[in-house]
Amino acid sequence: MEKLEKEFETYPLEEYPDVENIKFPKELYVAHAVCGKECGAREFIVDGQTQVCQHCGKLMFRTEVKKYILTENE
């Protein structure tokens, strides 16, 4: 079983917006997601976000979701 790595493109650094004052949510749901048996990839994803496999480009299946709570550690 051969894994095909998906090639992603990036923008030049100056094409990304400046970002300031980022506020993280106090709690967040994170899902464990798996791809098909042929691919075999596993990832943690933010629940509610797109679950596209970074290896093969197909949709992943969420197996379990947990709530994480923000702590103020720097």
pLDDT at 5: 61
Q: What is the pLDDT of residues 40-70, one digit of tens each?
A: 999 999 988 888 898 888 999 999 999 999 8
Instruction: Assess if residue 59 is contained within a domain.
Output: yes
Q: Which two tokens stand for residue 39?
A: 């691919």
Rounded Cα distance between 24 and 30, Å, is 14
pLDDT at position 1 over 60: no
- What is the full DSSP assignment across 27-41? EEEEEEEE--TTT--
- Domain housing 63: 25-69
Tell me how many domains the chain contains.
Answer: 1
Q: What is the pLDDT of residues 24-34, one digit of tens each?
A: 889 999 999 99
Rounded Cα distance between 17 and 19, Å, is 6
Instruction: Assess if residue 12 is contained within a domain.
Output: no
Instruction: Assess if residue 13 is contained within a domain.
Output: no
Q: Which two tokens stand for residue 72?
A: 């103020």
